[in-house]
A and B are shown apart, each in its own frame.
Chain A
Amino acid sequence: MTELSAALAARKISSVELARLCLERIRAHRDLNAFITVDESGSLEAARLADERRAKGEGGPLLGIPIAHKDILCTRALRTTCGSRMLENYTSPYDAHVVSELERAGAVMLGKCNMDEFAMGSSSESSHFGPVRNPWAKNRVPGGSSGGSAAAVAARMVPAATGTDTGGSIRQPAALSGICGLKPTYGTVSRYGLVAFASSLDQAGPLAKSAADLALLMNAMAGFDARDSTSLERTKEDYARSLRDLDLAGLRIGVPEAYLGEGVQPGVRKAVEEAMRWFASQGAKRVPVELPHLGLGVAVYYVIAPAEASSNLSRFDGVRYGHRASEYSDLVDMYARTRAEGFGAEVKRRILVGTYVLSHGYYDAYYLQAQKVRRLIVRDFQSAFERCDLILGPVAPTTAFEIGAQIQDPVKMYLGDIFTVPGSLAGLPGLSIPCGFDEAGLPVGLQLTGTYFSEAKLLAAAHRYQQASDWHLRVPTETPL
């Protein structure tokens, strides 16, 4: 993106030309199913406007850069489906905060990316619009839920895309698709216009090919928004400028034992260990840290997230917008049929679980208990960050698995979130960057987790790593340039 930006500034290429190239690649790799909606005419018009802005003297690193949005971020220009039949034909009358901020910075939206239905999933298979395929191996998943965004960036359809992360939905697809993704500290990026899955966890963030690109996107996406009560009032940071500020010498990197223990694929473990060795070679210190409640993360997450989701998704009742059953006998029947038809299996499963854990007589044992353990997980991280500056480990225990391999076994799928979910529960920022390949040639993701608002530090550490490595520059075998 940095190079594209320079080329645009030097008038070596116009934004319209760049958009055309991207649209061509999107067409050429339609079989990946990365997009739900592509807006050829709208995006060319937006690109033309970007060229005009440049002609008038405007600049900026994102001006004229083509991007794609995860189809959970509301856009006026294109429908916002959330990968669901429920919102198949829904167009929002307003833009999400993230969407308008990126538009203001001059980014050109080419379309909306496929995803797990309502962001519920780790494989992008639960979409009403069909599964997304991994550009490194088309019979494999790209990860999820922001799998369309990850596949689109990995296959070079767009230089960058937005995603949302509730329990790993940016980091894990970035890892499985061999690109970079950042889940910011909860409250850093406004949730206004992000269709809610689990409100206390949802956070939008960027997916791109390098940490430097993520920094540029974060500069536009982060910032206070009064329309989101959980948005934090902080002075704006320049993530791009601080990329070179970090001194790796003396940096204390915590590696929890469990992160490289049982259940982690050897290929994943090896790549992560090698990345750690590189940091050590630069003077960083590997320190042991403990996260005693790590193992409870997935259980806690799969109580809290469905609880919030069961309530958040109540608004999809067929009354005001979205799908409505065509035949019904009365009001309750209308609700039942509308929701039975509109939601897929995974969404229904989570609504049921969420409704159950909030029910009278079960609330204390499940929801309240989960909130208490969530506090313990927060405390684990707080004490860990007294001993280290950042935590390093894998994003996921495995590389990309085959389409259909886990969809029938939700618990197995959920357990794949073991390393991403704890940071989400604690509201911490987490970064995923490529750090190698397994024996099958599938990309491995390295996760860096920092304390609150340490995005600049995470990005800088990743940037240093990427200056010395080329994992992030590798092009997927199935979508060559």
Chain B
Amino acid sequence: MIHFNQLTYTYPGSSYPALSNVTLDILEGEFVLLAGPSGAGKSTLLRCLNGLVPHFTGGTLRGSVTVAGHDPVAEGPQVLSRIVGFIFQDPEAQFVVDRVEDEVAFALENAAIPPAEMRTRVEEALGLVGLLPLRDRPLETLSGGEKQRVAIAAALALRPRILALDEPTSQLDPESAEEVLSALERLNRELELTIILAEQRLERILPYADRLVYLPSPLPIRGGREGVVLSGPPRRVLRQMDLTPPLVTLGKALGWEPLPLTVEEGRKSANRQIGKSQMANRKSPFVHSSIRPFVDSQIRRFSILHPPFSIRDLHFSYGDTHALRGVALTVGEGELVALMGRNGSGKTTLLKCIVGLLRPQQGEILLEDESLIGRETADICRRVGYLPQEPDALLFADTVADELEVTLRNHGLLDNPPIIPADLLARLGLSGLATSYPRDLSVGQRQRVALGAVTVTRPRLLLLDEPTRGLDYAAKRELVRLLREWQAEGAGVLLVTHDVELVAQAADRVVVLEQGAVSADGPPAEVLTGSLLLAPQVARLFPGTGWLTVEDALAGLLPS
């Protein structure tokens, strides 16, 4: 169906190829998961399928691609649009009109499909993704998952044989992501549509995939082995990958056969393993040693008795809609509190109220006994670092170092900075990039620059809104390391996220918001394991043990 033969592609102006010597075969009707670190060329490879690369991007291409007998390089994206349906990361960025039905019909109108057939196709495409009841709705009223399904329906209307999806679930909350994935699975099963999907969070997609393709970083690895493209059944490829989802990592560490891809598969091996360990450690207390090596017990006691940051009875409404209803919350010194909840439960609103971007109608917000209510955002943010959902909105300076200086200048701290900018850059792993243009960097690096820009005032409290969106496993690990260092210095962290695995690794406490009110507040082992939606893979594998991470499970199962 698809054949890449020694494909090498270099973007215009780039000194190294984005894809290097890729040879790959994909069969008709396969569900292919495309994995690899950011910058490995996953999006580029997808864009080669329909000729967007090189027709839209320019650059130089060597080797060949064949898609269903067509040559995308010679025929171009317009011709290939009938064969390959392409879905982008952000559904909103690809919409041309404003209603569900019209959006699906847009490509058909341009292809001059007769009206009668057009109506049949629109009906069929909406039916396939379960959107018929929403056909008349304006797009702006849909949820993230629904919008992404509209984008899929719009691609399906042209009746393609292949669907190429570029991180289609990375902007979605877990339920919306599940909605989209089930729709794709159905299309693959019922229509035998070939699906090629690039994604960072493998654990979501692995259960559906027939083939896993791993693209290594094209950059020369320092002292490491030369990266090669891996392709094959998921289990075989996962064994050769360094960074894998927790369940797979655990399976690899314990030598489980076959390697589990779903919690159900893992449970059998887990039961055998527990039997092997004679349940010696099953009731062992929650293992902390590898998780928070820096937190001092003195500080933790102090913080619980007299938390430096607290919110009491906070209320906020957007017009008639109550977004926050009497929220109460504390963050201790050096404590990392994860704030979880569905989309629209009020998490971002709460963060905006804290930094003064929104004015709460009632309640109190105290930082070290001082009220933050009614104060200017710029004032508050000298002591509270806030990283918004899209860190790109922060970046505008010419160099990475300038970004830090701008914040210092804004706060009048340029002559007497609380932390030497060069030291902060070193800690963020950005020393070598101090003179680079921030917007040219990778997603993970841009996020660290933004983090530097909001923490150069050495805030006592750090608010992070969905910081792991679009990050690969390595970038996520790096973020966890940074947060632990800040905690060790006594900074409190309030982390808004849907990423349960991150929470399992890093949080001291979990607070769950539901319709603007706190519905749960407690240690991760208690809150995360108490809900099916919030439970990390390890917790679902070993219910009742309180284990959340691979380290917990290994320490519990292998006491030596």
Do A and B interact?
Answer: no
Q: Using CB atoms and an 8 Å cutoff, list the residues of chain B in contact with chain A.
A: none
Q: Using CB atoms and an 8 Å cutoff, list the residues of chain A in contact with chain B.
A: none
